[in-house]
Amino acid sequence: MTIDSDRDQPKCVAPLPGFISHLYLLWQTRNQLSRQSLGLHQSRLQRLISALALVPACALGLLSYWFMTQPSITVAIDVSQFYFNLLCFVTAMQWITWPVLSAGVEDASESRRYQSYPISTRRLLVATTLTGLLRPVGLFMFAPLIGAVVGYTSSHVERYVFMVPLLLLAFIALCAGWSQAALYWVRDILRSHRSGQALGALLIALIVLGMLLPPLDISWLYQKNETGNANFGLDLKESAQIAYAFSRIPTGYLGEALRALHDGRPLAAMADFLAMLLLAALGLLIAQIQLSQSQHNKASHSESNNAMQAIFLNARNTHAALALREALALWRNPRARLLLAVPFVLMVMFRLFSAHEMFIFFFGDNVDTWLMAVLATYAALLVTTTFTQNMFAEDGQGLYLLLAAPVTPKSILRAKAQVHTLVIGLAGLSSTMFYALYIGQVSLQDWFLVALGITLVIPITLMVGLFLSIYFPVSTDTSLNRRNRQSMAVSLVGFLGTLAGTSPLFLLLNYRHSEAFYLWAYPVLVVALGLMIALYHYLLPIAGQQFNQRRERILAQIGRF
C-alpha cells in the first residue's frame, strides 16, 4: 500500500472555532436569516425601523434611572433598596415568562439547527442565549435594569464601583438562563401530543386558583401617607422589611449585592455575584437537559374520534371543506392554543395581584371599560400578528395541493379569511366576557359597546393580514423545528392595522360620559363596521388576483418550489 505523495495532505484535523468565533458566527447567521426571511437586503427603512425599536427600550432605561434618582426614593437606602428589588423582581419575572407570553417558542429551534455541527450543546445554549440578548426584545428587558443600576449606584455606591457592571452582567445571565429553561419547558409542553389537554388543565387550574385565593394586597404601593407625600404609603420600617424579604429570593441578589457595596462589604457582594452565576448555570443546565431529551421524543398522535376522522365527509361543499381544514389546522396548532390562553392567564394574574384596584385608584371607577377593551385588543392582536398576517405559512407544502386543486385562489382566501374572522372574534369577545365575569364590573351596554368595537378590528386586520400574507410570506413550522420570522417592518404594519381597527372604539370611549352617549355611539360603530366590511368585500377580489399572480413566489417562500 502506497500513499500518493504529490498532493498536499492534511497533517491534522483543523482546529474548531473558539467560543468567541462561535458567538460571532451565530450572531451573523441570526442577522442574515432575519434579512433573508423576506428575500431582501437590509434597506435604510429597515435599519431605521430597527433603530426605532430601540427607542422604547432606551426610554424605559432613562425612566428607571430618573425614578431611582428621585429625592423621595434616594431619601433613605431602605426606600431605594425596596424599589430596586421590586424592579428586579418584575423584570426577572417578565423576562422568564416571556417565552410563554409571546409564544416565542420557535426561538428554541435555533439550537436544533446547529446541533449537527461540532459544537457542544452547552456552548450552543450559552452562545444562543448571549446572541439573543442583542435582539430588541432582549434590550427591552435589560434597559430598565441598566437605568436602575446606574441610578442606584450614583446615589448610594461610592466604593468598589468597578464591581457593579459585573454584578449587573451576572443578574442578566441569571434571567437569560432561566428564560431559556422556560423556553424549552413551554416548547416541550407544546410539542407533546397532549399539549391541548396540558394547556387546558393549566388554564382551568389557574382560573380556579384565582377564584379561591384571596388577591394580594398591594394597596401600600399607591396609597398616600398621612402627609400626602409620595413615599407611596410605606414607612421606612416597612420598606426595609419588604426589601429584606425581596433580597432573600434570587431576583433580589443584585439589590443585596449593591447594598453590600454600599455598606463596604465587597466579599458579600462577591458571594451574591457567584450565587447569581451558579443559578444562571443551573437554568442553562435545565435547558440543556430539556434540549437533549427533546431530541429523542417525537410526538405521535392518533385521532381515535371517528366523527373527527369523517369531518370532511360531512362538509356541505368544497368551500366548507376548505374552511374546515383551515380551522382544524389552527385547532391543532400548539402556538394557537397557547396564544388563545395567554389573555386569560394575564387576567387571572390581574386579579391575583389586585391590579384592577390599582387602576381604579389611578384612573377612577370607570376604568373597567377601557381595561376590557385593551385586553380584548391584546387578545385579537396576538392572533392577528402571529397567524393572520402570515396566513399561508402554516400550510407549508399543502399550499401546492390547494393550488393544484380545482378551486379558485379567491375561494382559498375566502375560506382562510372566514376562519380567521372566527378566531379573532372568539379571542376578542371571549376576553371581554371573561373580564366582565371574572374581574371588573361592566354594564351590559358597555360590554356591547366594547364587543362591537372589537368586531370592528376584524375586517381591517383581515385586509392588512391578507395583503401582508401575499406580499411577505414567511415559512413557519408547526412542529417548532424551524425558525423564521417576518421582518420587524411587516410586524409593525400588522400591529398598526390592529390599532387602526380599534381606534374608533378608543376614540368613542373618550366621550363615554357625554350626554346620550350610547344613543349615538352604537350607530357610529355600526356604520364604521358596515364601511369596513364593504371595504373588505371590495378588496377581497383584488387580494385574490394578487394571490393568483404571486402564487409561485409565495410557494417558494413558504416551502420548496
Partner 1 sequence: MVTDAILAKPHCHASLVIEAKNIHKAFANKPVLKGLDLELQPASVFALLGPNGAGKSTLISLLTGVARADQGYLRVLGLDPAQDPIAVKRQIGVVPEELALFESLTGRQQLHFCAQLHGLDRTTSEQRCEELLRLTDLVSAGNQLINTYSKGMRRRLAIAAALIHGPALVLLDEPFDGIDVIAAGVIRELLQELRRAQVSLLLTTHILEIADRLATHAGFLYDGRLLDQGPVTTLTEKYQQANLEGVFEALIPLPDSQGNHLTFYQRRHD
By CB under 8 A, residue 561 contacts partner 1: yes
- By C-beta, is 345 or 383 nearer to partner 1? 383
**Minimum gap (Å) between residue 424 Cβ and partner 1:** 20
By CB under 8 A, residue 118 contacts partner 1: no
Q: Is 14 exposed, middle or buried (0-12, 13-18, 19+ CB in 10 A)?
A: exposed
3-class secondary structure for 186-203? HHHHHHCCCHHHHHHHHH
Give ∠ CA 486-131-51 in degrees, rounded to 5: 55
Residue choice 227, 302, 441, 510 for contact with partner 1 (CB under 8 A): 302
For residue 513, which phi and psi values (nearest 5 degrees)? -100, 5
The cell numbers describing 371, all together, are: 381595561
Instruction: State whether residue 460 is helix, strand or coil.
Output: helix
Amino acid sitting at position 456 = L
Q: What is the DSSP letter of 15?
A: P
Using CB under 8 A as the binding rule, the residues of this chain from 329 to 358 that contact partner 1 are 329, 332-333
Give ∠ CA 185-186-190 in degrees, rounded to 5: 120
State the alpha helices, DSSP H only, in 157-219: 163-191, 195-212
- By C-beta, is 32 or 397 nearer to partner 1? 397
**Minimum gap (Å) between residue 426 Cβ and partner 1:** 19
The cell numbers describing 296, all together, are: 429523542
Residue choice 325, 335, 356, 416 for contact with partner 1 (CB under 8 A): 325
Neighbours of 19 (CB within 10 A): 12
**Minimum gap (Å) between residue 161 Cβ and partner 1:** 53
Residue choice 116, 304, 441, 510 for contact with partner 1 (CB under 8 A): 304
Of 246-254, 288-296, 326-334, 459-467, the segment contacting partner 1 by CB under 8 A is 326-334
For residue 242, which phi and psi values (nearest 5 degrees)? -70, -40
- By C-beta, is 8 or 515 nearer to partner 1? 8
Residue choice 167, 291, 555, 558 for contact with partner 1 (CB under 8 A): 555
Using CB under 8 A as the binding rule, the residues of this chain from 240 to 299 that contact partner 1 are 298-299
- By C-beta, is 217 or 303 nearer to partner 1? 303
Which of 269, 243, 245 is closest to 153 using CA atoms?
269
Residue choice 32, 309, 366, 445 for contact with partner 1 (CB under 8 A): 309
By CB under 8 A, residue 318 contacts partner 1: yes
- By C-beta, is 178 or 392 nearer to partner 1? 392
DSSP E strand boundaries for 317-356? none
Contact string 385-424 vs partner 1 (x = CB under 8 A): ---------xxxxxxxxxxxxxxx----------------
Neighbours of 55 (CB within 10 A): 9
- By C-beta, is 299 or 542 nearer to partner 1? 299
Q: Which residues bind partner 1 (CB under 8 A)?
A: 1-4, 7-10, 298-304, 308-315, 317-318, 321-322, 325, 328-329, 332-333, 394-408, 478-479, 551-552, 555-556, 559-561
